[in-house]
Structure 1
Amino acid sequence: MAAAKRLFCFGCGYSARVFAARFRAKGGSVAGTCRTADKAAGLAASGIVPFLFGDGLPLEDPASALAGTTHLLISAPPGEKGDPVLAAHAADLRRIAPHVEWAGYLSTTGVYGDRQGGWVDEETPLDPAVARSDRRVKAEAAWTEFAASSGLPLHIFRLAGIYGPGRNQLLSVLDGSARRIVKEGQIFSRIHVEDIANVLEASMARPNPGAIYNVCDDEPAAAGDVVAYAAELLGRTPPPEIPFEKAELSPMGRSFYMSSRRVSNRRIHEELGLTLAYPTYREGLKSLLGTL
């Protein structure tokens, strides 16, 4: 990658920072947004030029912040009032769109809603089950419309449940917070954070503006199975099974169990030529033992 390449990340969180590290390792420069001065210091320490954005506050000097951007990643979540990036900076992005080589919007597989364990792919009609997924559907539509009118070479990535270093079931088993909640027929898909970066890199290598990709591993599984396997790897007794009906869950936790689906990742294999580093949760969790 030529040194002149510059990635700008709206929302430089867990997944974006892994991708940003890859981009920098190949010679590119990275800038990104966060909400607080403390987080800005953390971005700067990792080689990312930080800009404050969010909570209703736009970039202070968007022309300067976005200058030289060749690659754009949007992972800032939509709120009740819609997508915060488009609300604040649509005009600024329209100005740089002709110079952007690749853009990615990180969405969620939650846009498919409840399929009672059935399979979905990128052609499946959307049917969000909860308010935050409905916001994602609207944000996807807004970004798609913006890309069509501005020429921004946008790709949409629908992410499954994310895990990786510092965020995995091994840690929850160790700290005693893991719960093995059982709901008949409940199936989820997930993805290791490094494989998210692998997908984004593969898309950059084979850009196809307008494409949508499901980003998940090869084996949907019940959440309780992942907890049990994590306990096995650690040589611990897995936590007892708790029927969903008896589990005391927060509204957010309960909404997690309101939809069940198997997400197909065939497109990332066939169109991007990608082989996942962690095709199932088993390889992923094994690799994380050394991070504990």
Structure 2
Amino acid sequence: MKLFIFGLGYTAGFYAAQAVAHFDQVTGTTRAPQGEAIGRVRMLPFDGAAEAVDARLRRALQEADALLVSAGPDAMGDPVLRRLEAEIAAAPRLKKIVYLSTIGVYGDHGGHWIDESAEARPSNARSRTRLEVEAQWLALGARAGKPVYVLRLSGIYGPGRNVLVKLREGTAKRLVKPGQVFNRIHVADIASAIDACLLSDTPAGIYNVTDDEPAPPQDVVLYAAILLGVAPPPEQDFVAAELTPMARSFYGENKRVSNMRMKADLGVELAFPTFREGIAALAAQGEGR
């Protein structure tokens, strides 16, 4: 089997490194590859703003059995659909499509528990575009008879991208907004969810890919500091803190996101069900030292 990946960023790059064990060929894209391959992952250029699409990319799509889309939308929508929607729909060997989205499409739910049946009410243009793109991928799958899995990811962390690293670099903040919680997900558990979609007979549709325990962000920073044996940064009142507009917008959304459908229908067993297991494992691997 052959896997094609649009957008070889942090999450898709992590998945690609292990997907070579399951697929005969893995091809990924970046806007300007630094070489022809990263390990065993073949690299091709793709830029949604460019006038032309590389002929090698078109051929690889025709040969792909599975497609993972991790390239985010731009101001004009989804760059992959804009350039290649018809070719993806007609790809003769393509059997499954996974689109990586975000729980940001739900917007604010006042800290209540929600699942995939909850109303999506995105609070900013970025999340509204995501929701529109989700619908476009699902519609493509329905027209072409190809199962499409939309994975709504919570806050991603893992090797090299975590609170332990931020503590080491001195950029961690312990912001306090009463009642605020966030869900998180370790990148390895995202990989397990993608595997469940692409490598097993599971129902297509929308899935929340998130941990079991939405938690206040200041608690996560404190836990990580204790593991490293360092003093945690002082607590800061969210209202008075200096934040970028994007960072402040994250705190405007408060929800507890359920992963029960992911567990029941995809059969995913989380290796890191809460931030404690995930951060402890990263610390044991030397992160933050």
TM tier, shorter chain?
Answer: over 0.9
Match of 1:53 in 2: 46
1:101 to 95, 112, 117: 95
For the residues of structure 2 that align with 1:178 and 1:145, how far apart are their CA atoms? 41
Distance 1:27 1:76, change over 3 A: closer
Distance 1:253 1:234, change over 3 A: same
User: C-alpha offsets along residues 102-160 of structure 1, whole Å, 9 cap, x if unaligned?
Assistant: 21000000000001111110111111011111110010011111111122221110000
2:70 to 72, 75, 97: 75
Give the AA of the match of 2:208.
N
Distance 1:45 1:144, change over 3 A: closer
Residue 222 of structure 1: how far off its partner (Å): 1.0
Give the AA of the match of 2:122.
P
Residue 51 of structure 1: how far off its partner (Å): 1.1
For the residues of structure 2 that align with 1:13 and 1:246, how far apart are their CA atoms? 33
Match of 1:173 in 2: 167
Does the residue aligned with 1:126 lie in a helix, a strand or coil? coil
Match of 1:24 in 2: 20
Match of 2:83 in 1: 88
Match of 1:145 in 2: 139
2:188 to 194, 199, 210: 194
1:269 to 244, 248, 263: 263
TM-score (norm: length of structure 2) = 0.94
Match of 1:223 in 2: 217
Match of 1:34 in 2: 30
- Give identity over the alignment, percent: 45
TM-score (norm: length of structure 1) = 0.93
User: C-alpha offsets along residues 209-229 of structure 1, whole Å, 9 cap, x if unaligned?
Assistant: 542110001111011111111
Q: Does residue 1:9 correspond to 2:16, yes or no?
A: no
For the residues of structure 1 that align with 2:201 and 2:244, how far apart are their CA atoms? 40
For the residues of structure 2 that align with 1:94 and 1:46, how far apart are their CA atoms? 29
CA contact (8 A) 2:186 2:272 kept: yes
Does the residue aligned with 2:29 lie in a helix, a strand or coil? strand
List alignment gaps of at least 5 residues for structure 2.
none
Match of 2:110 in 1: 116
Which deviates more from structure 2 when the two are superposed, residues 233-242 or residues 141-150? 141-150
CA RMSD of aligned residues (A): 1.4
List alignment gaps of at least 5 residues for structure 1.
none
- Greater helix share, 1 or 2? 1
CA contact (8 A) 1:116 1:185 kept: no
For the residues of structure 2 that align with 1:189 and 1:141, how far apart are their CA atoms? 23
1:64 to 59, 65, 85: 59
